[in-house]
Chains A and B, each alone.
Chain A
Amino acid sequence: MTATAPATDADTAAVRRAIASTARPPRPGPLSTALTFGWRGMLKIKHVPEQLIDVTITPVLFVLMFTYLFGGALAGSTSAYLQYVLPGILVMSVVFTTVYSGVALNTDLTKGVVDRFRSLPIWRPAPLLGALLGDSVRYVLAGTVILVLGVVLGYRPEGGAVGALAALALVVVFSFGLSWVYSAVGLVLRSPSAVLNGGFMVLFPLTFLSNVFVDPGTLPRPLRAFVDVNPISVLATAARSLMAGTPDGTAITVSLAVAAGLAAVFLPVTTRLYRSR
């Protein structure tokens, strides 16, 4: 405890009035409850803005590192590579951020306030849905940092601002679906660091064995087969197509379907886990 707030005493008469004076309001709807939990997430960012470092600094490092370290070797020039890799890094950065949703949930569970949420007469998935809606704001932020930095470094989306924003929206929606998986992981594993390690152990190979950084044309056949069906590749293809102004309907549909499928499977699983842990 660093500082103790000034203490005054409870006023018993006022306490009795407060206890006697209230009526029970009608129960709020599911969406309103979830949005209230989203507001809680926003308040935490407001009080501890430093926690946004992971969603802002890391993407910047990725862009700079891949563009200037590998760009010339991979694509002949850094500017040509930036044009290829930026949508990929957009995908990677935002998808990586979903792991932190699991970490945050795991941390939250150790706090007594979760017991209070569980004892309230509210729609059961609301605390989770609200937290993930709040996290989506982080995804938007991480994606925006990438796009702005890309443009500063010379990236020009042929699809214009509309294409770039559509790609960002798609990536955020996909990440929202994926974040349900990491919420389940966050509820199953014992510690925040286990969630972090486990999360990246899966996401690193998925991201690197995809078309995020390189055109899979040069890959050995078995590896290429995997890369082609990897949902991260599909998402990167969809994001690229939107930013290039030539939307790939199949890739976009598959990306959205994967997100919807993950959410549909893991929302009930996660809600159940949240209830029983």
Chain B
Amino acid sequence: MTSGSTLAIEATGLAKSYGETRAVAGVDLAVPAGAIYGVLGPNGAGKTTTIRMLATIVPPDAGTARVLGHDVVAEADAVRGLVSLTGQLASVDEELTGRENLVLIGRLLGHRRAAARARADELLEAFGIAGAAGKLVKHYSGGMRRRLDIAASIVVTPRLAFLDEPTTGLDPRSRNQVWEIVRALVAEGTTVLLCTQYLEEADQLADGIVVIDRGRVIAEGTPGQLKASIGTGALHVRLLDPARRAEAARLLEAVVGTVTLEPDPAALSAACSDADRAATAVGELGRAGVGLADFSLDQPSLDEVFLSLTGHLAEEPAPTSGKAS
């Protein structure tokens, strides 16, 4: 999973406030080199602020962080020389063409004009943007803009890439392309810190995950460990008659565990990992004459992990959402 035991990011007690809002309230991170590490949390959880501190864009109010061995405050310039940032807002210049964006970054990183142009063309070709190289970025589709954004981050291949919600707002096809690029980046030895609010994305890509909520780390581990820490799968039940859902919920709660009402008015689920108890619960429903359309028992998803850790769903913004997330 990880190559070697060195840490690419070590952070202790990172904190940042904007006015009254504590965007990040003491975050510890230990990110192994050579892996994809997921920072998972809802909007406003403090993911972006954490990434901005680690990428030396804003200094922390408290705490320390070392990125690839360099302190983010005292040796910020050394950190900048080794990392790249793909921000939540596309970090490309919308008023320039795709090619100009990449040449600009190449020049700023020290390439001579001809080398910057050659590198830009190579990346445009590889990322499937060559056909739109001369168009202004504001006319790009969301997927192309994201690919250009990531291309801009590897004009000089970084040792560590910060990706802040790289697939938010993308269609599934574009999302899969971004995932392929992220995997390619790691395969070539770059460490990736990936912020996401999509549990599926973290599950698909990340070797390790921290879950952040309201500025604090509330859980940490591999996707498997996180699921195991909850220890339960869920019994999903769909009724023939939605009107009997309350009754079904009472019966399930008595036999198994906490019941969640699904968005579908006929569906509900209960935390449960024991197949025998699930069978008993289904039997109870049958005895009570609650007609079942179908039922299933599955392993916990990260969605359920998140709900169990935070008490609210990942899709719901935290009640106190700050200026920056």
Do B131 and A6 have beta carbons less than 8 Å apart?
Answer: yes
Tell me if A218 counts as interface (CB < 8 A to partner B). no
Q: How far is the CB of B242 from chain A (nearest CB, A)?
A: 40
User: Cβ of B58: which chain A residues have Cβ within 8 Å of it?
Assistant: 276
Do A119 and B55 have beta carbons less than 8 Å apart?
Answer: yes
Do A120 and B80 have beta carbons less than 8 Å apart?
Answer: yes
Query: Quick one: closest B residue to A9, CB to CB?
Result: B128
Do A22 and B156 have beta carbons less than 8 Å apart?
Answer: yes
Q: A5-B131, A19-B154, A112-B90 are in contact. Are A119 and B56 (CB under 8 A)?
A: yes
Do A10 and B147 have beta carbons less than 8 Å apart?
Answer: yes
Which of A19, A27, A36 interacts with B185 by CB under 8 Å? Answer: A19
Query: Quick one: closest B residue to A122, CB to CB?
Result: B108
B112-139 contact mask (Cβ, 8 Å, vs A): 1 or 0: 1001000100110111111110011011
Q: A11-B128, A25-B110, A113-B93 are in contact. Are A18 and B152 (CB under 8 A)?
A: no
Do B126 and A18 have beta carbons less than 8 Å apart?
Answer: yes
Do B180 and A43 have beta carbons less than 8 Å apart?
Answer: no
Query: Quick one: closest B residue to A29, CB to CB?
Result: B110
Residue in B52, B104, B129 with the greatest tally of chain A CB atoms within 10 Å: B104
User: Cβ of A113: which chain B residues have Cβ within 8 Å of it?
Assistant: 91-94
Which of A15, A16, A19, A116 interacts with B105 by CB under 8 Å? Answer: A116
What's the A-B contact tally at a CB cutoff of 8 Å?
159
- Tell me the bound Cα distance from A75 to B185 in angstroms: 72
Tell me if A28 counts as interface (CB < 8 A to partner B). yes
> Could you give 20 example pairs across A and B, Cβ below 8 Å?
A1-B138, A5-B139, A10-B147, A10-B177, A12-B180, A12-B184, A15-B180, A21-B122, A33-B108, A36-B104, A39-B104, A43-B95, A47-B96, A48-B95, A116-B85, A116-B152, A117-B108, A120-B108, A121-B77, A276-B58
- Tell me the bound Cα distance from A78 to B129 in angstroms: 58
Chain A positions within 8 Å of B, measured between CB atoms, are: 1-12, 14-22, 24-28, 33, 36-37, 39-40, 43-44, 47-48, 111-113, 115-122, 276
Q: A2-B139, A27-B110 are in contact. Are A116 and B177 (CB under 8 A)?
A: no
Do A36 and B108 have beta carbons less than 8 Å apart?
Answer: yes
Do B139 and A6 have beta carbons less than 8 Å apart?
Answer: no
- Tell me the bound Cα distance from A8 to B94 in angstroms: 20
On chain B, which size bracket covers the interface?
A: 35 or more
Do A5 and B135 have beta carbons less than 8 Å apart?
Answer: yes
Do B92 and A121 have beta carbons less than 8 Å apart?
Answer: no
- Tell me the bound Cα distance from A210 to B227 in angstroms: 74
Do A19 and B111 have beta carbons less than 8 Å apart?
Answer: no
Query: Quick one: closest B residue to A14, CB to CB?
Result: B126
User: Cβ of B181: which chain A residues have Cβ within 8 Å of it?
Assistant: 10, 12, 15
Tell me if B223 counts as interface (CB < 8 A to partner A). no
Tell me if B57 counts as interface (CB < 8 A to partner A). yes
Q: A19-B188, A33-B108, A112-B90 are in contact. Are A44 and B95 (CB under 8 A)?
A: yes
Do A15 and B184 have beta carbons less than 8 Å apart?
Answer: yes
Do B96 and A112 have beta carbons less than 8 Å apart?
Answer: no
Do B110 and A18 have beta carbons less than 8 Å apart?
Answer: no
Query: Quick one: closest A residue to B77, CB to CB?
Result: A121
Do A3 and B139 have beta carbons less than 8 Å apart?
Answer: yes
